[in-house]
Structure 1
């Protein structure tokens, strides 16, 4: 992998997994955005992944849809006991309110939790980020059509 994502993308990926917004198929996955307005297509490559999310497409690092798929596949080992902390977080809204200052958005996300839980969350995210940083995978953008209709659950 040529470029690591901001650590904030791990938080977003954990929320996608916690909310069960990842739909796995044989050769690809569909990942729904945190505000449920977009679907992203993650294609499985022999040596990695491609995705049509903006981070992967334009910044050339694995966006949260790829990271969420890697967690589901067990390529990134997460602690399932931590997942409830990441449920129902609208990262799109948090990032917009923070003017895309990811550190500020993470701080807002962490505020309601006790210091003990905050530390556990930060440790879990750092663990996943460390796993990712030691991997050799190919990450590419793809031009799969992106669904932008409002979705209801």
Structure 2
């Protein structure tokens, strides 16, 4: 993959997995946004994925819908016992509050946790990021509609 996602997309993907907002079909998957307002379509390519989320479409790196699908498929290894920390986080609301300054949104998310838990959360995100570094995947945007059915 040519461009790696920012760490914030990994946090969002872990929340999508924790909240079970992913529906995997035969040739595609659907991922519901954290505020449940949009449904993203992730299509499976021969050696990669396409998605209609803004990060994938416009920035050309895998957005959180692709990352969440990769986690569900076992392409990205995660510690399932850590998922509870990522449940019920409205990333859309946090990102809007901080005008897409993702570091500030992440800081607010981490605030209520102890130092030990914060360290484990950050370790989880870094671990996923390092797995992405060695992957050779095709990442493309697609123009499927984003509204939930």
The count of aligned residue pairs is 149
Query: Is 1:114 the equivalent of 2:114?
Result: yes
2 CA distance for matches of 1:100 and 1:148? 23
**Which residue of structure 1 aligns with residue 14 of structure 2?**
14
Tell me the TM-score normalized by structure 2: 0.98
Q: Superposition pairs for residues 4-153 of structure 1, below 5 Å?
A: 4-147=4-147
Secondary structure of the residue that 1:105 maps to in structure 2? Answer: helix
1:134 CA drift (Å): 1.2
Runs of 4+ aligned structure 1 residues displaced above 6 Å come to none
RMSD: 0.9
Secondary structure of the residue that 1:3 maps to in structure 2? Answer: coil
1:146 CA drift (Å): 1.4
Unaligned runs of 5+ in 2: none
2 CA distance for matches of 1:112 and 1:76? 27
2 CA distance for matches of 1:101 and 1:84? 24
After superposition, the C-alpha distances for 1:84-114 in whole angstroms (9 at most, x for unaligned) are 0000000000011111011111000000000
Higher mean C-alpha displacement, 127-136 vs 63-72: 127-136
1:148 CA drift (Å): 5.6
After superposition, the C-alpha distances for 1:12-37 in whole angstroms (9 at most, x for unaligned) are 00000000000010000000000000
**Which residue of structure 2 aligns with residue 3 of structure 1?**
3
